[in-house]
Amino acid sequence: MESWGVTDAGYKLLEKIGLKSKIDKFWCSNEDWCSKFIIPVGSSVDVSDIEEILDEEDIIPERKKAIERWMKKSGDSGKRSRDLFMISGAATDCILTRNEINGFEKLGFSSIAELDGLVAAYFQEKYDDSSALQGSKHIWRSDGFKTRIYGDDNNYLHIDQILIDSSCYKPDQRRLDGDDAVLFGELETNYLLSDDCYWSVLAAIVLKYADTVSIEIPEAINWREFMGNQGWDGNIVNPDLNSVAFRDFAFHYENMILAQLPDKTDIKKVEKTFFGMMEPYASRGISYLPAIDTEDRLVFYTDYGTSGAVEFSPYSGAKKYYPLLYFTKDDVSELFKGAVNCIMTNLSGTRPEHLAYMFNEWDQIKESKSLE
C-alpha cells in the first residue's frame, strides 16, 4: 500500500531551508484547526469544491493549471481529497507569504508545484503521526524507513513501516541544484496488524533477537528504571489465564529459537520450534514470522506477499513467506521502546505488572545462564 509522505531527501531539504521547524511550530500551535480545516479527512472531493478553488481571483496560475490537469487526468473517477491537497497550495499558504512562495527558486525548488507538494506531504505526515488518530505513537526514521508503532481502541498492535529512501523512487525531473532525488510522493508502506495479546510477545521477540545476535538494549537491561520513568508502580504480578500477557514466556524463551537464514528455517532440521510466531485474528488469516536474515536484521515475514519470497517450515511443510518489516541492530531498541511505551500508556490491554513479570523472568534466565 502507499500513502503520501516525505522521503529522506525531502526531510533533509526541509531542515536545510528551515521549513521543517517553521511547519512544526505552526502545527504545534494549530493542530486542532489543521486537523479539522486544512487536512482532508474525506476520501473524495466534490467537483463544486474544486471549481470554487479555481474561481478564486488570486489563485496562483501554476496552481490553477495543476488542478485543471489533475481534473482532466482523473476524469469521471473519484477525485481523492488528499490528491487535491497536494497541489492546491493550502498547506503552503499557512506557512509562507505570497512573496516567499513566488521566490521558490531561492528555497531550492524547481517550481511552486514542487514546493506545494513537499509542504503538503509533510503536513499530511504530521496528521498521520498525530495522537488525534490512534493515540500516542512511537515514531522514528532510520536506514531508509520510517516506522510507527501504536495501539487503537481495540488494543490492537499496529506497526507501519514506510520506505523513505529516495533512491528507491524514480524522479520526475531534475531540481535546480542538479539533484534528482525524489522529495515526496505516494510512498510504499507495509503494515503489521495483530491482536492485543501480541504486545508483550513483540517485546519478547526483541529480547530474543538481542540475545541471539549478542547485542545489548539499554532500556531492556535497565527495564525497572525505564518502566518506572513511565509510571510503573513497582508491582510484579504473575498473569492469570484471563490476561493478555505472555504467560508461558520462560518456557518459550528457553526452548524455542528465532528462525534464521540461511540454515535455521525448518523446525524438523533444527529440532526446535520457532519463537514469536504471530497468528492474530485481527489480520484475518495473515500470519507473521520473526526471523533473522543474512544481514543479521530482525525481519518480520508474512505469508501474504508478492516479492522476495523465502521458504520457512514453521510447521509440517515448507511455505513461502515474504519480507514485511526490517529492523537493524540499531533499530531494535526503538522497537522495544515502542512496545513498552504503548503498554505503559494503556494502548495495548497488557498490564504493566504482567510485563514486569516477563522482564523479571528474563533477568532470571540470563542470570542462570551466566552461572553455567
Direct distance between the N- and C-terminal alpha carbons of the chain, in angstroms, rounded to an integer: 48
What count of other Cβ atoms lies within 10 Å of the Cβ of residue 40? 19
The CA distance from 250 to 234, in Å, is: 20
Domain boundaries, the chain: 2-194, 196-371
The one-digit pLDDT tens for each residue of the chain (372 residues) are 567 899 999 999 999 999 999 999 999 998 888 877 777 766 788 888 888 899 998 999 999 999 999 888 877 667 888 889 999 999 999 999 999 999 999 998 989 999 999 999 999 999 888 865 556 789 999 999 999 999 988 889 999 999 999 999 987 654 444 467 899 999 999 999 999 889 999 999 999 999 999 999 999 999 999 999 999 999 999 988 777 778 889 999 999 999 999 999 999 999 999 999 999 887 778 999 999 999 999 999 999 888 999 999 998 889 999 999 999 999 999 999 999 999 998 778 899 999 999 999 999 999 887 665
Q: Are 196 and 154 in contact (CB under 8 A)?
A: yes
The CA distance from 79 to 45, in Å, is: 6
The CA distance from 198 to 280, in Å, is: 8
Beta strands 259-260; 288-292: pairing state: parallel
Q: At what angle do helices 19-33 and 112-129 cross, to 10 degrees?
A: 50
The CA distance from 275 to 257, in Å, is: 5
pTM here? 0.91
Residue 164 pLDDT: 96
Q: Are 52 and 67 in contact (CB under 8 A)?
A: no
Closest CA to 125 of 183, 66, 198, 181: 183
Residue 214 pLDDT: 96
